[in-house]
Amino acid sequence: MKVAVASRSFSKHPVLRAELQARFPDATFNDAGKSLAGAELVAFLQGHDAAVTALERLDDSLFDALPELTVIGKYGVGLDMVDLDAMRRRGIRLGWTGGVNRRSVSELVISMAIALLRHVPQGNLEVRASGWRQLQGRHLSGRCVGIIGCGHIGQDLTPLLKAFGCTVLAHDIRDFADFYAAHGVEKVGLDDLLGRADVVTLHLPLDSSTVNILSADKLALMRSDAILINCARGGLVDEAALKTMLMTGKLAGAGLDVFNGEPPEDRELLALPNLLATPHIGGSAEEAVLAMGRAAIAGLVQAVVPQPGSEVWRAAGLA
């Protein structure tokens, strides 16, 4: 196969480059470091029958322009940018591995929870501005944490929270009864979770059933001393409503690794002292990058046409 790597982080990673070239010597890399979309993405992928992609949008128009493209190796676990049905209709194969970056995301969630509970973002800003006062926070230990979406990442996060003595609530449309029983997780409805949890963390794909799942009305169910963490996908949370709640003290804090538009442009939101914002780094630990890259390389060979009812179909929220 002649492989094109659209992903910027894969392209600049020396180990992943070497491992891909060992199997596909004629691979083409995105050495310009550009975020490729539309006509530029089509031009980059032309002449290749396989591609490694990350956040690039793969849809009908792209596949129509690239009839020679038959295999995609997915770098990362998100699928909201991939039209699986368009791939199925054309017989294009996809190599995808779920949960390959789960520990990287889980550790970021833990770090955000501790930082927000201890007012680290606010304290950092005050010291940098020559302030010096002790801010009294709270432990993560013993807190009630609500996990919305208890798939790969939620299930990886749970034992880490249990090590802190946390009560863990979970809400998911799927039933993980055996996992819940084994780890002492309480399965609850969404409204119940939002009303009880000290920390709410999102781990859902973005699809028609989850977009704006935390609307203004749902956010209003959270306690004023609670914090919200979103290391999943932008579009799950009403950012305008969240900003108002943070500004008015109706929510204690929020940690956002993802935004409705990236990079975010709402400077008023980003300036809030009770917001911890990061640039979509949930899967950017060195260990996760290697795992995602190796899964994408293996996926070029092990790829299959996505089908309704398959794991990838379910992960994309299509079944």
Q: What is the pLDDT, as a whole number, of residue 176? A: 97
Of 88, 90, 280, 314, which residue is the catalytic one? 280
Residue 224 near residue 246, CB atoms below 8 Å: no
Q: How confident is the model at residue 314 (pLDDT cuts 50, 70, 90)?
A: confident
Count of beta carbons in the 10 Å neighbourhood of residue 160: 14
pLDDT digits (tens, 9 = 90+) for 17-36: 999 999 999 999 999 999 99
Q: Is the pLDDT confidence value at 319 over 70?
A: no
Of 8, 13, 103, 233, which residue is the catalytic one? 233
294 part of the active site: no
C-alpha 73/C-alpha 81 separation (Å) is: 14
Average pLDDT over residues 10-16: 97
B/e letters for 197-234, b = 16+ CB within 10 Å, e = fewer, are bbbbbbbbbbeeebbebbeeebbebbbeebbbbbbbbb
pLDDT digits (tens, 9 = 90+) for 154-196: 999 999 999 999 999 999 999 999 999 999 999 999 999 999 9
Q: Is the pLDDT confidence value at 279 over 70?
A: yes
Averaged confidence pLDDT in the chain: 96
Q: What is the pLDDT, as a whole number, of residue 318? A: 81
Helix axes 286-302, 102-117, angle to 10 degrees: 150
Of 262, 265, 286, 287, which residue is the catalytic one? 262
Q: What is the pLDDT, as a whole number, of residue 266? A: 97
Number of separate helices (H) and strands (E) present in the chain:
15, 12
pTM: 0.91
Least confident piece of the model among 50-64, 127-141, 213-227, 305-319: 305-319
Average pLDDT over residues 115-131: 97
233 part of the active site: yes
C-alpha 146/C-alpha 199 separation (Å) is: 6
Mention every residue, 6+ apart, whose C-beta is less than 8 A from residue 148: 171, 172, 190, 193, 200, 201, 202, 203, 204, 213
Count of beta carbons in the 10 Å neighbourhood of residue 272: 19
